Amino acid sequence: MDEVIRVQNLSFAYKQDYEVLKNISLVFDKKSTAIIGQNGAGKTTFVKLLKGLLKPTSGEIYIKGYNTKEVSTAFLSKYIGLVFQNPNDQIFKNTVLEEVMFGPLNILKDKKQAQENAIKALEMVGLQDKMHIHPYDLGLSDRKLVSIASIVSMDPDIIILDEPTIAQDHKGNTIIKNVIKELKEKGKLVITITHDMDFVAEIFERTIVLNEGIILLDGNTREVFSQQEILKKAYLELPHVAQLAKKLGIKQTLLTEQELINFLKHNKLNN
Amino acid sequence: MVNLVVEHLKYRYPLGNELALEDISFEVKKGEFIGIIGENGSGKSTLCQAIVGLVPNFYKGAYGGKVLVKEIEVAQSDVSEISSYVGIVFQNPFTQITGSKLTVYEEVAFGLENLGIPREEMIKRIEESLKLLRLFEYRHFNPFELSGGQMQRLAIASVIAMKPDILVLDEPTSQLDPQGSEEVFQAIQDLAKNGMTIIIAEHKIEKIASYADKIILLHKGKLVDFDTPEKIFSREDIEEYGIVPPVYTRICKSLNVKNEAGFYPVTLEQVYYELVKVYG
Ligand SMILES: Nc1ncnc2c1ncn2[C@@H]1O[C@H](COP(=O)(O)OP(=O)(O)OP(=O)(O)O)[C@@H](O)[C@H]1O
Ligand SMILES: Nc1ncnc2c1ncn2[C@@H]1O[C@H](COP(=O)(O)OP(=O)(O)OP(=O)(O)O)[C@@H](O)[C@H]1O
Ligand SMILES: [Mg+2]
Ligand SMILES: [Mg+2]
């Protein structure tokens, strides 16, 4: 197993006597991973710590072997990119192209190469025709895609997406799914925070459930979605297909439309 | 009783090249729960803003037609005058937060003070809405210390506390956890049952399918259809408007399972009932 990130006894508090993350230990390899959990569970805080934007109150985080306490965020940004939950926290340039070029220009110091990377990333998210627009003239959904392209263009080994599907319609969702699949094929570790259980079921190999600062469940996505009682405690739900399968009395955890359709074609329901 | 009328509404933003809304007409009765669906850029947010008068009064631009809220023409009245009748939860919760209040509690109080609600009543409403949105324990937090979903909960709480006759919500649950989003839909359904009119723009198609009485389908600024969820999602051309029907409807389409009226089921209960009939 190639270890990409190691988190050891991580605790974090914004204010005294209010721990948001409590003694978390885990390892990420290259499996695409979803992080799910209720509002305020600590998901955004956790990924800001991975990115080195916040430093542990206690415990250690190693990104490709580098302790986030011992290296600068600028150094880490070659290895790890984070797409913020709110794109407005990330966008500050005057055109979409400049915005997406900013990251690679900083790392590569080569304008031509940076522009090439930026254009490729913009094509990936379907914004090549909006390159010369001011990012604030775009709707929230496109702005979110710009912020994804800005990170993809830097080509880090680890890419974290904090609620990428906010405000996306069906087409936008499909674009994001394809970006994640493509990054995975290139050998990147993709970690995604989301509240969309169907999205988790369809895309991610591993799922981690965070609840009140601790890890409640961690495993292969199908196994995690077989633990309905624990998920309920974490204010989560089953994916829509799994809800229907369960209601129909099917014992297996079915996650996709096709799985359910196949099941119905070959089995009789016993109720 | 009709309490929202939209007549031949047309609108273009000051810097827009095309009409964002084109000849939109519909009527909504008191206590109805109306969903607005459509692909990105189809005009959902613009329509929401037009119902509360921010279009055209705040955004300016070229405007034609009428929006009547309780027989008051919104374009002709100032936003503060109609704010006791209509409330809006914005798509981006950051836009909702005043930025000048130190606590979550004061943030909710702000809108109520502006309405001149008596103190006792104010305290009652603030507590009720904060509890409803599971924010009561965060009442002393600074709004900017909240997580994304908590901030969205705060935006909803502040508007619900004002008890408008017409409540407009623009993708209000996009950052909520799954149970939170279900709770919000249930809560606004209760409000509708008590006579509040609900207009909600949403991409969460399964939620709209199970909660909305009727759905407005927008495409490129035009109203394509205004009908019940089962009729809207049974349209053969629905995907041409960038809308994919609920998972349950898709499964029934693949298996060619329709209900007695000849429509595809759209909710969990309906699909369960039909599938058991065929495969049970
Ligand atoms: N302030 C603005 N100035 C100019 N054009 C705008 C403005 N806001 C929106 N538009 C344009 O008006 C059209 C409708 O946008 P609107 O935001 O209403 O769509 P929407 O259906 O809410 O989309 P989304 O699902 O992305 O929220 C789009 O073409 C959009 O680009
Ligand atoms: N800057 C801050 N100062 C103080 N407390 C904060 C700050 N940012 C977040 N918190 C608190 O830390 C907790 C975890 O927040 P975080 O943003 O990590 O949650 P989350 O799991 O990402 O939630 P969501 O699903 O709503 O985005 C919340 O209770 C929040 O109120
Ligand atoms: Mg978050
Ligand atoms: Mg919108």
Question: HEC profile for chain A?
Answer: CCCCEEEEEEEEEEECCEEEEEEEEEEECCCCEEEECCCCCCHHHHHHHHCCCCCCCEEEEEECCEECCCCCHHHHCCCEEEECCCHHHCCCCCCHHHHHHHHHHHHHCCHHHHHHHHHHHHHHCCCHHHCCCCHHHCCHHHHHHHHHHHHHCCCCCEEEEECCCCCCCHHHHHHHHHHHHHHHHCCCEEEEECCCHHHHHHHCCEEEEEECCEEEEEEEHHHHCCCHHHHHHCCCCCCHHHHHHHHCCCCCCCCCHHHHHHHHHHCCCCC
Tell whether the model's pLDDT for residue A16 goes beyond 70. yes
**Mean pLDDT, chain B, whole residue set:** 95
**Mean pLDDT, chain A, whole residue set:** 95
Which numbered atom of ligand 1 lies nearest the CA of B47? Answer: 18
Q: What is the percent of chain A with per-residue pLDDT over 70, rounded to a whole number?
A: 99
Q: Does B144 touch chain A (CB under 8 A)?
A: no
- Which residues in chain B have Cβ-Cβ distances shorter than 8 Å to A247? 268, 272
Confidence (pLDDT) at B154: 97
pLDDT tens digits for range B220-272: 999 999 999 999 999 999 999 999 999 999 999 999 999 999 999 999 999 99
Query: For B41-51, what is the mean pLDDT?
Result: 96
Tell whether the model's pLDDT for residue B80 goes beyond 80. no
Of all residues in chain A, the one with the smallest CA distance to B94 is A86
Q: How far is A226 from chain B (nearest CA, A)?
A: 16
- Which residues in chain A have Cβ-Cβ distances shorter than 8 Å to B153? 39
Confidence (pLDDT) at A237: 97
* Residue A44 Cβ < 6 Å to ligand 2: yes
Average the pLDDT over each of A52-61, A99-108, B130-139, B140-149 and give the range with the smallest value.
A99-108
- Which residues in chain B have Cβ-Cβ distances shorter than 8 Å to A85? 148, 175
pLDDT tens digits for range A106-150: 888 889 999 999 999 999 999 999 999 998 888 889 999 999 999
Tell whether the model's pLDDT for residue B79 goes beyond 80. no
Confidence (pLDDT) at B2: 86
In chain B, the domains with their CATH numbers are 1-80+196-236 (3.40.50.300), 246-280 (no CATH)
Confidence (pLDDT) at B181: 97
Confidence (pLDDT) at B98: 85
Q: Does B41 touch chain A (CB under 8 A)?
A: yes
Separation of B218 CA from ligand 1 center, angstroms?
Answer: 12
Confidence (pLDDT) at A1: 61
Query: For B140-144, what is the mean pLDDT?
Result: 95
Q: Comparing A268 with B43, which gets the higher pLDDT?
A: B43
Of all residues in chain B, the one with the smallest CA distance to A256 is B247
Query: For B160-182, what is the mean pLDDT?
Result: 96
Q: Which of B134, B170, B203, B278 to mutate to test the interface with A (most CBs of A within 10 A)?
A: B203
pLDDT tens digits for range A160-202: 999 999 999 999 999 999 999 999 999 999 999 999 999 999 9
- Which residues in chain B have Cβ-Cβ distances shorter than 8 Å to A240? 206, 246-248, 268
Pick A139's closest partner by Cβ from B40, B176, B280: B40
